[in-house]
Copies of this chain bind each other. A is one copy, B any other.
Amino acid sequence: MKKIILFLWLVPILASAQTKDDSVFIKKMSDDILQNGQAYEWLYQLTKNIGGRLAGSPQFNKAVEWSKQTFDKIGADKVYLQQCLVPHWVRDGKNDRVAITSVNNKLYINPLDAFALGNSLGTPPNGITAELFAVNDFDQLEKYKDKIKGKIVFYNYHFNPTNISTFLSYSDAGKYRWMGASRAAKYGAVGMLVRSMSISTDNNPHTGAMEYNDSFPKIPAAAIGLQDADKLWKLAQISKIIKVNITTHGKMLPDTTAYNVIAELKGSIFPDEIITVGGHLDSWDINEGAHDDGTGVVHTMEVLRALKAAGYTPKHTIRFVLFADEEKSGRGAEKYAATAKLNNEKHIFGFESDAGGFTPRGFSFHVPDSSWIKLNAWKSLFEPYGGSVFVAGGGGADTEPLEAAFKTPVAELNPDSQRYFDIHHARSDVFENVNRRELLLGAVNITALIYLVDKYGL
Contacts and interface: CB of A to CB of B under 8 A. Distances in A.
Interface string A22-49: 0000000011001100001000000000
A244 to B, nearest CB: 29
Interface stretch (A4-12, A135-143, A249-257, A416-424): A416-424
A218 interface: no
Contact of A386 (B40, B164, B201): B164
A399 to B, nearest CB: 26
Contacts of A437: 161, 166, 199, 418-419
A436 interface: yes
Nearest to A361: B386
Contacts of A386: 164, 361
Contacts of A166: 437
A384 B164 contact: yes
Given A161-B35, A386-B164, A419 B435 contact: yes
A441 interface: yes
B422 A435 contact: yes
A438 interface: yes
Nearest to A435: B419
Contacts of A441: 164, 418
A182 interface: no
Nearest to A418: B437
Contacts of A344: none
Interface in A151-168: 161-162, 164, 166
A50 to B, nearest CB: 20
16 contacts: A30-B162, A34-B162, A35-B162, A40-B201, A161-B437, A164-B386, A166-B437, A199-B437, A201-B436, A359-B416, A418-B437, A418-B438, A418-B441, A419-B435, A419-B437, A419-B438
Interface string A193-226: 0000001010000000000000000000000000
> Number of copies of this chain in the oligomer?
2
A151 to B, nearest CB: 31
A351 interface: no
Nearest to A40: B201
Given A161-B437, A201-B436, A359-B418, 13 more contacts: A30-B162, A34-B162, A40-B201, A164-B385, A359-B359, A361-B386, A416-B416, A418-B435, A418-B438, A418-B441, A419-B437, A419-B438, A422-B435
Interface of A: 30-31, 34-35, 40, 161-162, 164, 166, 199, 201, 359, 361, 384-386, 416, 418-419, 422, 435-438, 441
A201 B419 CA distance: 20
A227 to B, nearest CB: 14
Contact of A31 (B162, B418, B438): B162
A72 B138 CA distance: 43
A338 B435 CA distance: 42
Contacts of A422: 435
B34 A161 contact: yes
